[in-house]
Structure formats: C-alpha cells, structure tokens
Amino acid sequence: MQPDHAQIIALQALSWLATEEAMLLDFLQASGASPADLRMRAGDPDFQIAVLDFLMTNDAWIVALCDAHALAYTDPATARAALPGGETPHWT
C-alpha cells in the first residue's frame, strides 16, 4: 500500500471515530488529545497511527469501520504499516 492511500484510510478512520461519541471520548482520554487536536493533527502520520492503533484494539470497531467504508478488514493494519513511522518494530 502506498503512503497516500494509507493516509486516506487513516483519515476515514478518524472521520468514522468522530461519529462514535463514546468511542471518541475514550480515544481522547487514552491519547491525551483534545477535540482541537482532531482537526489540527488530522494530517500528522503519528496522530493517524495513534487513531489506527486505538481502533485496532477492538475487532468489532475494525469491522464496523471497514464495513462503513467498504474496506478489507486488513486495510487498517496495512495502512498503519505504510504510514511514515508505522513500520512494525523487530525485537530480535
């Protein structure tokens, strides 16, 4: 996946998250972000990775996101890895 496409998926994830009030509040609390950060940092790959990481903690959220945007269920993880700084660390 190209980084541009990964950013589109990350922005779709952020847009979807913004429509889920309770989940959005959980994200804001977990990340320390403010509602203003959602707008100001939407294009920041590090913030996009944080959104995808948060959503990937719950399979049901990923299914709902992917169903809402006609994405493959593996697309959020693939997008995360394709974003700048999103490489999976190798611990060995």
Tens digits of residue pLDDT in 38-50: 889 988 999 999 9
29 has a pLDDT exceeding 90: yes
Nearest to 18 by CA among 47, 51, 46: 51
Domain count for the chain, please give it: 1
pTM here is 0.87
Question: Residue with structure tokens 């589109």?
Answer: 8
**Residue 8 belongs to some domain of the structure:** yes
Domain hosting residue 25, numbered range: 3-82
Alpha helices in the chain (DSSP H): 3-18, 21-31, 35-40, 45-55, 59-69, 75-82
- The neighbour count for residue 6, using CB atoms within 10 Å, is 24
Tens digits of residue pLDDT in 58-91: 999 999 999 999 999 999 999 999 987 766 665 5
Q: Are 1 and 87 in contact (CB under 8 A)?
A: no
**Residue 92 belongs to some domain of the structure:** no
**Residue 33 belongs to some domain of the structure:** yes
